[in-house]
Amino acid sequence: MLKIGVLASGRGSNFQAIINAVKTGYLKARVEVLITDNSAAYAIKRADDNGIAGLVMRPADYASPDTYYEAVADELVKRGVGLVVLAGFMRVVRKPLIDLFPMSIMNIHPALLPSFPGLHAQRQAISYGVKISGCTVHFVDEGMDTGPVIIQAAVPVYCDDTEESLSERILEYEHRIFPYAIRLFAEGRLEVKGRVVRIQGQVKDKDVVVNPPLAKGD
């Protein structure tokens, strides 16, 4: 069974969506550990409530960013983690972690990459005036939201949207496509060819994206 290590910095609603998907049996995997850089993160309570080991690892406690990610990688390897999931982890992952988990680190971004990478993607979308935004699950490389795209969901942008209202609409789809992407990985159905991620048997799953359970109590 696939063991997942989750990195999160805040409330962890995507972390909860993954927990829910495991509990319902939609996702045949186990969340082995939560690592957070923020001792006040609500994600820690989610881990405690679900019997998941939680570690606070702050970059300030390490000599350098690379040393920090070496320590994070060591903890993940020690627990037999096969997939690293960034669920609102507000740091750019560096080479020591990426090298140990090549094409085995997933992130979710609240925009349709390559549009609007980085922080405040929803604000960027509204400012630009786009009519469609959404969210993207992608593999992590050394760039800022530049890794190969696994799956995306499109979400309309309305003329009266605020950053907050658009964020909430996108978040609902984040909670659906992230478990789906992890499920594809767990089933060995993802093949990376350069920048292209090929999904085996995707045509048979065409309605599966809307089926994963939503996180509750976010």
Nearest Cα residue to 108 out of 30, 203, 212: 212
Q: What pLDDT score does 193 carry?
A: 95
pLDDT below 70 — which residues of the chain?
A: 203-218
Which tokens sit at 74? 């060591």
CB within 8 Å of 70: residues ≥ 6 apart:
96, 97
Q: What pLDDT score does 202 carry?
A: 76
Distance CA 174, CA 109 (A): 8
Q: What pLDDT score does 204 carry?
A: 64
Q: Which residues of 145-173 are buried (b: 16+ CB within 10 A; e: fewer)?
A: bebbbbbbbebebeeebeeeebbebbbbb
Q: What pLDDT score does 215 carry?
A: 45
Distance CA 130, CA 182 (A): 29
- Per annotation, catalytic residue among 109, 120, 138, 175: 109
Q: What pLDDT score does 208 carry?
A: 52
3-state secondary structure of 101: coil
The reported pTM is: 0.92
Which tokens sit at 83? 């997939």
Q: What pLDDT score does 142 carry?
A: 92
- Give the CATH number of domain 2-210: 3.40.50.170
Chain centroid, CA 69 distance in Å: 17
Verify whether residue 109 is a known catalytic residue.
Answer: yes
Q: What pLDDT score does 213 carry?
A: 43
Q: What pLDDT score does 201 carry?
A: 86
- The domain segmentation of the chain, as residue ranges, is 2-210
CB within 8 Å of 110: residues ≥ 6 apart:
121, 122, 133, 135, 167, 170, 171, 174
Distance CA 194, CA 60 (A): 35
CB 107 within 8 A of CB 150: no
Which tokens sit at 56? 């606070």
Q: What pLDDT score does 206 carry?
A: 58
Sheet strands side by side (includes 83-86) = 53-56, 29-36, 2-8, 83-86, 105-109, 132-139, 149-156, 196-199, 190-193
